[in-house]
């Protein structure tokens, strides 16, 4: 990897303005793709601003839980940028809170963004992807495999993402569309900065991980770039842990 594996490919990355999504956008562009970020707020860092000026990165404002906005966004991508080859469903939110006290609205919001959002984006994107034999990667989580205290709604949504990935892979293999998931462990991003900024919590979390360190967004992005490339042409329906060895050690 590290060449031009995705030359002339068109990609959508949801939630690509920061954290893991931003690293995925930058990585796909380095591999030669043109990428449209679908997100709620356009907050591009300097690198993304430069790539936008070069016509390699674009932005369309959506809430991934809103079908009407998504229909408009994907129509715009296919006509104004290029017919889609790659979809990375990355947008996600957490909702800390034990199940006993979790509000129904909180549960609904997590499921709507993390799980239904992937269903909606993929159902719309498959119309273009099936013409070209494209690829989808869903960002799940290792907490979709193992329960995580105080993260009941989040873990349930991510377990759903893993099964949705397998289901889409099964149904869309006939179109030569591959669908895989990546299950990150603990990756330092704005999502968990409120926790990891505390040195004690940072050290305690690192100590849980056999590799004894928190992951970096680019370490997820590299695996995503591999999965959407022809290097992974016989992989579909898989949920790949990228977690420094965390899974299996807890
Ligand atoms: P961040 O909170 O840093 O980024 C999430 C991105 O998703 C933001 O750009 C946000 O945009 C966007 N987003 C959230 N809700 C919506 C929505 N309804 N519609 C469109 N965009 C939305 O999170 P991470 O980078 O850490 O996480 C990325 C993915 O990785 C998520 O799916 C997360 O669950 C998963 N993950 C992260 C781990 C970690 O340790 N960081 C571990 C395991 C999985 P905006 O701010 O504009 O809403």
CATH code where residue 109 lies: 3.40.50.720
Mean pLDDT of 124-132: 96
Please give the distance, rounded to the nearest whole angstrom, from the Cα atom of residue 139 to the centre of ligand 1: 9
Containing H/E element for 175?
A: none
User: For residue 244, is it within any domain?
Assistant: no
User: For residue 166, is it within any domain?
Assistant: yes
User: Is 194 noted as a catalytic residue in this protein?
Assistant: no
User: For residue 118, is it within any domain?
Assistant: yes
Catalytic-role residue among 60, 148, 154, 234: 154
What is the number of the ligand 1 atom nearest to the C-alpha of 140?
A: 44
User: For residue 51, is it within any domain?
Assistant: yes
Q: What DSSP state is assigned to residue 114?
A: I
Residue of 138, 106, 107 whose CA lies nearest to 12 = 138
What is the number of the ligand 1 atom nearest to the C-alpha of 187?
A: 40
State yes or no: pLDDT of 8 exceeds 60. yes
In this prediction, residue 247 carries a pLDDT of 85
Please give the distance, rounded to the nearest whole angstrom, from the Cα atom of residue 93 to the centre of ligand 1: 5
247 lines ligand 1 (CB under 6 A): no
State which residues form the domain around 154. Answer: 10-239
3-state DSSP assignment of residue 162: helix
Q: Which of 13, 16, 21, 218 to mutate to test the pocket of ligand 1 (most atoms within 8 A of CB)?
A: 21
State yes or no: pLDDT of 80 exceeds 70. yes
Confidence of residue 3 (pLDDT cuts 50, 70, 90): low
42 lines ligand 1 (CB under 6 A): no
User: For residue 119, is it within any domain?
Assistant: yes
User: For residue 1, is it within any domain?
Assistant: no
State yes or no: pLDDT of 69 exceeds 90. yes
Whether the CB-CB separation of 151 and 96 falls below 8 Å is answered with yes
3-state DSSP assignment of residue 191: coil
Mean pLDDT of 61-89: 97
State yes or no: pLDDT of 210 exceeds 70. yes
Number of domains composing the chain: 1
- The percent of residues above 70 in pLDDT, for the chain, comes to 98
Give residue-wise pLDDT tens across range 133-175: 999 999 999 999 999 889 999 999 999 999 999 999 999 999 9
Q: Which pair of tokens denotes residue 68?
A: 């009407």
User: For residue 53, is it within any domain?
Assistant: yes
Q: Nearest C-alpha to atom 9 of ligand 1 is from which residue? A: 15
Residues in CB range of 162: below 8 A, 6 or more apart: 140, 144, 145, 181, 183, 239
User: For residue 3, is it within any domain?
Assistant: no
Please give the distance, rounded to the nearest whole angstrom, from the Cα atom of residue 229 to the centre of ligand 1: 23
Angle at which helices 46-53 and 19-30 cross, to 10°:
40
In this prediction, residue 107 carries a pLDDT of 97
Give residue-wise pLDDT tens across range 99-125: 999 999 999 999 999 999 999 999 999
State yes or no: pLDDT of 2 exceeds 90. no
Average pLDDT of every residue of the chain? 96
Please give the distance, rounded to the nearest whole angstrom, from the Cα atom of residue 174 to the centre of ligand 1: 31
65 lines ligand 1 (CB under 6 A): yes
232 lines ligand 1 (CB under 6 A): no
Backbone phi, psi, residue 217, to 5°: -50, -35
Mean pLDDT of 78-97: 96
102 lines ligand 1 (CB under 6 A): no
State yes or no: pLDDT of 249 exceeds 80. no
Q: Nearest C-alpha to atom 48 of ligand 1 is from which residue? A: 40
In this prediction, residue 248 carries a pLDDT of 75
What was the ipTM of the complex prediction?
0.99
């Amino acid at each position: 990897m590290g060449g031009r594996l995705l030359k002339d490919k068109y990609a959508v990355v949801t939630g690509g303005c920061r954290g893991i999504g931003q690293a995925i956008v930058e990585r796909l562009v380095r591999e030669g793709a043109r990428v449209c970020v679908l997100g709620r707020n356009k907050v591009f860092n300097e690198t993304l601003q430069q790539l936008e000026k070069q016509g390699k990165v674009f932005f369309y404002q959506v809430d991934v839980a809103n079908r009407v906005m998504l229909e408009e966004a994907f129509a715009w991508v296919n006509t104004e940028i290029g017919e889609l080859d790659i979809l990375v469903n990355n947008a996600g939110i957490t909702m800390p809170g034990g199940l006993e006290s979790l509000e129904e609205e909180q549960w609904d919001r997590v499921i709507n963004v993390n799980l239904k959002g992937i269903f909606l984006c993929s159902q719309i994107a498959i119309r273009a992807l099936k013409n070209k034999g494209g690829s989808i990667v869903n960002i799940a989580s290792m907490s979709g495999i193992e329960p995580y205290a105080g993260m009941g709604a989040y873990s349930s949504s991510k377990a759903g993402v893993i099964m949705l990935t397998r289901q889409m892979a099964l149904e869309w293999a006939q179109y030569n569309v591959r669908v895989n998931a990546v299950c990150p462990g603990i990756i330092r991003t704005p999502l968990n900065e409120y926790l990891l900024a505390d040195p004690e919590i940072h050290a305690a979390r690192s100590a849980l991980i056999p590799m004894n360190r928190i992951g970096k967004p680019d370490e997820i992005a590299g695996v995503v770039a591999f999965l959407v490339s022809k290097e992974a042409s016989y992989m579909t329906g898989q949920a790949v842990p990228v977690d420094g060895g965390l899974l299996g050690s807890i």
